[in-house]
Structure 1
Amino acid sequence: MKIGENSSAVELARLTRSGELTAAEVVEAHIAEIERLNPAVNAIVDFRPERALAAARELDRAFREDEPRGALHGLPVAHKDLVPAAGFRFTQGSPIFADRVPAQDHTVVGRMTAAGAITVGKTNVPEFGLGSHTFNDVYGVTRNPYALERTAGGSSGGAAAALAARMLPLADGSDTGGSLRNPASFCNVVGFRPSPGRVPSWPDGDPFSRLSVVGPMARTVDDLALLLSVLAGADPRAGWSVPADPAAYFPVPDPRGRPVRVAWSPDLDGRVVVAREVRDALEPVVATMAAHGWEVELATPDLSGAIESFRVLRALKMQISLAPLLAEHPGRLKSDAVWNIEEGAKLDGPTIALAERNAARIFHVMREFFDSFDVLATPTCQVAPFEITTRYPRAIDGSPMHDYLEWMGLPSAITMTGCPAISLPAAFTPDGLPVGIQLVGPHLREDRLLAVARQFESFAGAGRAPEIDPTPRPAFVTVD
C-alpha cells in the first residue's frame, strides 16, 4: 500500500490499530505530501511536522497489542482555523489575531485527539469564516487542487483542498450557510452538515445559534462516518447538544429494503439561480439514480421565506459575534464583515420575529415532507468553482448577485430547515471543474442520510483524484 494517495481513513486506521503500520509511518507519508503539494495549494497553515512526528512516535512507543486503541489511531489531521487547538495559532484568518495561541482545545479537537488523531497544523479559512472563498491577510488564498487558479470554496476551504490533494485523510469543518458543503462540492470531497447539536461546539461565542454547526469532511462516506462517530455526542458545556451512539454512524447502516424515494429540486422551485453548467452536469446523475431503481420525483418543499430569514438571523449572529470586535478594532475587518454587521444593526423586533416564525414553519414543512420522501436532492452550489481573484460571483448566467451571500442562497435555505445535509462528489463540468450534489435528510436522522449517501456513492460517485502541478504558487493575490 502506498500511503498518502488514495488510502482511505478507514483502512489506515485499521492498519495502525492492528500494528501493521506505525503512526510514524502514516504521519511521515502525509507530511511528505504536504511538503510537496502545499506550496501550490496553500491549504494547511501553521504546519508543525516536528511536533506531529514526536506525537506519532510517542503513540508508537506506548503501543500495546492487548490495549484498545482509538478509532483514529495514528491518523494525521489539521483543524479548521476557526476553532482553537492548544499550542497552534488560532487566527480566524484575521490579522487582529495573527499571533494568538490558545491553551485549550475545541470540542472537535479534543475528541479527535482522544481518538488517537495527530494534529499537524490548521486549515485555512476566510477572515472570520465569512464567504465561500478562502483567502485572508494572514495566510493568503487557498487554491483548488483541480484548478489552481480557481477557489477551493469556504469557509472550510483549506480542509476540503487538503483532503482533495491527499494531504490529509480526514478533516473537521463548520457550516453556517454552506461552509462544509460548498467547499466539498468545489473540491470533489464529502462534506456533512449535521443537525444542530449533533456535534457539540465548545467554546463558542454564540452557543445557541441554530445556524452554525461543526462537522466532518472526508473523501468517502465511510471515512466521513468514521469521523462523525468520534465527533457526535452530548457535551454539557455546549449550548446545543444531543446524545449519540457512535455505532449508529459507523459502520454505515444498510439502507432499507425498498427503493430510495428522492425529491429532486434543481433550483428550489425557482427561488435561486443555478448556473446552466451545474444543472447540465447533474442531469445525468439524477438519471443514474432512477436507472438504479431509486424513485425520483421533481418536488420541492415550501421553503418560502427561508433565504430571507437566513439573512436576518445571520445578520443577528454578526451582531452577537463580531460587532464588539468591530467597535474595538475599527477599520480592521474586511468590507463584507462590516456590511453584514451593519445589516445586523438595522434589525428590529418584528423583523427578527418574522424570521423565527418562518423557521418554525419550515421545520414542520420538512418534517411532513419526509413522510413522502427519504431525501431531498439539490445541487450543492449554484456555480462551479470561480477564479481566485474574484471575491464572489457577481452574476450567475446573467442574473446579478448583489452581495457576498446571494450566490449561496441554496445551501443557506437548507440551513434554515435544521436538517442534516451532505454534499457528495457527483460530476465535472466540461472544463474539469467538480460539481457536487446535496442530499438532505430528516432532522436528527444522520444515520439514514449516511445510508442513502453511501448507496449513491456506490453507483454515482465521482471521486477521482486531481492532478496537481506542485510548482509553488503565490499565497497572496489581489481579490476584488
Structure 2
Amino acid sequence: MTPAERDALCFLPATEVAAAVAARRLSPVEVVDAVLERIEAVDPELGAFCTPVPDRARAEAADLADRLARGEAAGPLAGVPLGVKDLIATAGIRTTSGSPAYRDHVPDQDDIVVERVRGAGGVVLGKTNTTEFGYSPAGHNPLFPPTRNPWAPSLTPGGSSAGSAAAVAAGLGPVALGSDGGCSLRVPASFCELVGMKPSMGRVPVWPGCRDERFPGMSGWESVEHLGALTRTVADTALLLSVLAGPDPRDRHSVPCGDVDWRAAARAGAAEGCAGLRVAYSPDLGYLPVDPEVRRVVGEAVGAFTDLGCVVEEVVPGWADPAEAFQAVITAETDLSGMRALVDRYGTEMSPHLVAWMTRAWTARELTDANIARKALANRMAGLMSRYDLLVTPTAAVAPFPVGVQGPERIDGRAVADTAWIGFNYPASLTGQPAVSLPAGRTRDGLPVGLQVVGRHLADGTVLRVAAAYEVARPWAHRRPRAGDAAQGTAGQGTAGRRAVGQGAVGRGA
C-alpha cells in the first residue's frame, strides 16, 4: 500500500471501513496501522490525543482479524478505529478528565458506550483531549497542551470534546466518542466542519460517568449529559448511534425503548429528502449577539431547507436567555464539597474559571430559581415545537478563535460574557431534545461555521433524516484539512479582544 493509499484509508467513512473489514476485503490491522501512522505524523501539532494506546489498539485489531479468519461474525463497527473523550471511562486506560486532580486515574471499568463499541468490533485508539471536567467550551486544560483546529492550528477546535473533533477532522479515525452537556459535541463540530449529534436525553445510557459519587468533578451534569458521536458523515453518525443507543438499567435516566432505526432514518433522508416539514429558523433567538459572517453563512445555508421542500419561517421563540440558569443547574448537580476539596489541594494547578465557579458563594435561591427557569424554558419550547417540526439556528455565534482563550470579549460590537458565543446550545441541553450541528459553510476568511437543527422531544429519527437530506443538498465530507502543514489562519471574524487563560501544561500523555 502506497503512502497515498494509506492516507486515503484514514479518511474512509466508518460505514465503508466496517463493510470492507466484514467482507474480508480489508484487514483491521491495515486500518489501525494506517491511522496510527497518521497520528504519529500529524498529532504532535494538533494534540488531539492525550493518552494514545497504540500497542493495545494493534493487539485489538490483530485479535479481531484472527476471529474473523475463524469465521466469527463481524460486528457493525468491525475494525473501525476511534478515539474516546477523556471524560468517558475506559478500563485500564488513563482517564484524567483534563484535571491535575486525576492525572494518574485509571478506571477499573468501561463506560457503557465503550462496552458497546468494543462489543461491536470497534478499536479504541486512546483518549482524546478535553477541557477540565468539561466545564468550558474551548479546547484547553491545565494538564496537557491545548488541542488545535486541523483547519487552522492557531485556532481552537472548540470544546469540550476538543480532541475528538480534531481527531476526526484530521483523519485520525473516522469517528470519535464525545459528550455534550451544554454544547460539547455541537460546538466542536461547528468549528471543525463535522457532524456532531446530541441525541435525546436518555437515548444513549451514561454510566459510570455522572453517576459515580467517588469522583468529584466526574460525577456532575447528570440531568443534562448526553453521549454521542463526532463524525464526517451523517451515515457514520447513524452507524455509531445504532451501536450506542438503547436502554440500560444502570442509567436511571435511560429511555426504556429502542424505537429509532438510526441507519434507516439516515438512508431515508438521503434517498427521499424531507419535504413538507415545518422549520422555525431563528438567527439569534431574539437575544444573542451573532457575528455578521456567521449570520450570513447560516442564513444562506437555511435556504437548503426551502429547496428540500420544507416550509421555513423566521421566528423569535420568546423565552429568556437561560445562560445563568444553566450554570446554576450544573452547580446544583456538582459535588461542591468534593470539588472544593480538590480546589484546596490542586487549585493553583486547575483552570482559573473552574476554581472561580466552584468557590463562588452560591445561594439556595439561585439554584431553585434556575430550576423554575428551566421549566419555563421547557414549556415555551414545547409550545414552539407544537407548531414546528424543527428549530434551526447557528451552532455558535462566532467562527473559531485563537487557541488558549475562553471566548471573544465582543461580538458584533457588543461586549459579552466569555461564554455568550455558545448560547444557541443551552435550550436543547436543558430540555433534553435531540440536536445536531451540521456544516453550514465558510466565512470569507475560510473558517468553518455550523448550523444547529433541534428536533421535537425524542424525534431523533426526524433529526437524522433531515441531516442526511441536507448533506445531499450541501455536501462537505470531500474536503480535508492540510493537517500537519495547515495554514495558520486567523481569529474568528467580527470579534475583537480575547481573554487569555492560564495553561499550566505539563506535557503530553504517554
TM-score range, shorter chain: over 0.9
Equivalent residues of 2:41, 2:484 under 8 A apart? no
Is 1:230 the counterpart of 2:243 in the alignment? yes
Task: Give the secondary-structure state (helix, strand or coil) at the position aligned to 1:134.
Answer: coil
User: Match for residue 456 of structure 1?
Assistant: 470
1:406 maps to a residue whose letter is: A
TM-score, normalisation: structure 1 = 0.92
Give the one of 341, 347, 363 matched to 2:358.
341
User: Match for residue 411 of structure 2?
Assistant: 396
Equivalent residues of 1:18, 1:65 under 8 A apart? no
Is 1:288 the counterpart of 2:304 in the alignment? yes
Is 1:76 the counterpart of 2:81 in the alignment? yes
1:282 maps to a residue whose letter is: V
CA drift of 1:103 comes to: 2.0
User: Match for residue 172 of structure 2?
Assistant: 167
Query: CA–CA distance in 2 between the matches of 1:221 and 1:88?
Result: 29
Q: How many pairs align? A: 472
Equivalent residues of 1:4, 1:167 under 8 A apart? no
Equivalent residues of 1:379, 1:436 under 8 A apart? yes
CA drift of 1:363 comes to: 2.2
Assess, with a 3 A threshold, how the Cα gap between structure 1 residues 357 and 471 changes in structure 2: closer, same or farther.
closer
Is 1:19 the counterpart of 2:21 in the alignment? no
Query: CA–CA distance in 1 between the matches of 2:430 and 2:228?
Result: 17
CA deviation string 1:326-348 (max 9, x = no partner) = 245443422110122134x4121
CA deviation string 1:130-189 (max 9, x = no partner) = 211111232211110111100010000100010000111111111121011000000000
Task: Name whichever of 121-130 and 464-473 sits farther off.
Answer: 464-473
Task: Name whichever of 381-390 and 323-332 sits farther off.
Answer: 323-332
User: Match for residue 383 of structure 1?
Assistant: 398
Query: CA–CA distance in 2 between the matches of 1:425 and 1:193?
Result: 15
User: Match for residue 216 of structure 2?
Assistant: none
Assess, with a 3 A threshold, how the Cα gap between structure 1 residues 366 and 132 changes in structure 2: closer, same or farther.
same
Equivalent residues of 2:329, 2:367 under 8 A apart? yes
Query: CA–CA distance in 1 between the matches of 2:235 and 2:341?
Result: 41
Query: CA–CA distance in 2 between the matches of 1:400 and 1:93?
Result: 29
The 5-angstrom pairing of residues 4-43 of structure 1 reads 4-43=9-48
Task: Name whichever of 353-362 and 123-132 sits farther off.
Answer: 353-362
Assess, with a 3 A threshold, how the Cα gap between structure 1 residues 251 and 64 changes in structure 2: closer, same or farther.
farther
Is 1:369 the counterpart of 2:384 in the alignment? yes
2:409 maps to a residue whose letter is: R
Give the one of 191, 212, 215 matched to 1:186.
191
Give the one of 140, 143, 147 matched to 2:148.
143
CA drift of 1:83 comes to: 1.5
Is 1:198 the counterpart of 2:214 in the alignment? no
Superposed CA RMSD: 2.3
CA drift of 1:300 comes to: 3.4
CA drift of 1:37 comes to: 1.0
Query: CA–CA distance in 2 between the matches of 1:187 and 1:172?
Result: 15
Give the one of 348, 356, 369 matched to 1:354.
369
Query: CA–CA distance in 1 between the matches of 2:32 and 2:370?
Result: 47
Q: Percent identity?
A: 37
Equivalent residues of 1:422, 1:439 under 8 A apart? yes
CA deviation string 1:304-339 (max 9, x = no partner) = 252332122123234547334324544342211012
Task: Give the secondary-structure state (helix, strand or coil) at the position aligned to 1:173.
Answer: strand
Query: CA–CA distance in 1 between the matches of 2:248 and 2:255?
Result: 8
CA drift of 1:353 comes to: 2.7
Is 1:221 the counterpart of 2:234 in the alignment? yes
CA deviation string 1:341-364 (max 9, x = no partner) = 134x4121x333332222223223
2:118 maps to a residue whose letter is: T
User: Match for residue 493 of structure 2?
Assistant: none
Task: Give the secondary-structure state (helix, strand or coil) at the position aligned to 2:62.
Answer: helix
Equivalent residues of 1:363, 1:418 under 8 A apart? no
Equivalent residues of 1:74, 1:116 under 8 A apart? yes
Is 1:102 the counterpart of 2:116 in the alignment? no
2:176 maps to a residue whose letter is: A
Is 1:241 the counterpart of 2:254 in the alignment? yes
Query: CA–CA distance in 2 between the matches of 1:479 and 1:337?
Result: 11
Query: CA–CA distance in 2 between the matches of 1:389 and 1:258?
Result: 43
2:410 maps to a residue whose letter is: A
User: Match for residue 481 of structure 2?
Assistant: 466
Equivalent residues of 1:305, 1:358 under 8 A apart? no
Assess, with a 3 A threshold, how the Cα gap between structure 1 residues 302 and 322 changes in structure 2: closer, same or farther.
farther
User: Match for residue 323 of structure 1?
Assistant: 340
Task: Name whichever of 6-15 and 145-154 sits farther off.
Answer: 6-15
Task: Name whichever of 377-386 and 226-235 sits farther off.
Answer: 226-235
Query: CA–CA distance in 2 between the matches of 1:89 and 1:288?
Result: 44
CA deviation string 1:9-32 (max 9, x = no partner) = 111111111211111011111112
Gap runs ≥5 in structure 2: 211-218, 489-499, 503-510
Task: Give the secondary-structure state (helix, strand or coil) at the position aligned to 1:410.
Answer: coil
Assess, with a 3 A threshold, how the Cα gap between structure 1 residues 325 and 358 changes in structure 2: closer, same or farther.
same
Equivalent residues of 2:390, 2:455 under 8 A apart? yes
CA drift of 1:470 comes to: 4.2
1:382 maps to a residue whose letter is: A
Task: Name whichever of 462-471 and 147-156 sits farther off.
Answer: 462-471
2:423 maps to a residue whose letter is: G
1:423 maps to a residue whose letter is: S
CA deviation string 1:106-147 (max 9, x = no partner) = 111111111111111110111222211111232211110111
Task: Name whichever of 144-153 and 413-422 sits farther off.
Answer: 413-422
Equivalent residues of 1:90, 1:101 under 8 A apart? yes
Query: CA–CA distance in 1 between the matches of 2:129 and 2:306?
Result: 38
User: Match for residue 434 of structure 1?
Assistant: 448
Is 1:46 the counterpart of 2:46 in the alignment? no
Is 1:306 the counterpart of 2:322 in the alignment? yes
User: Match for residue 494 of structure 2?
Assistant: none
Task: Name whichever of 118-127 and 406-415 sits farther off.
Answer: 406-415
CA deviation string 1:22-68 (max 9, x = no partner) = 11011111112111211121101211212211111111111157542
Equivalent residues of 1:208, 1:239 under 8 A apart? no
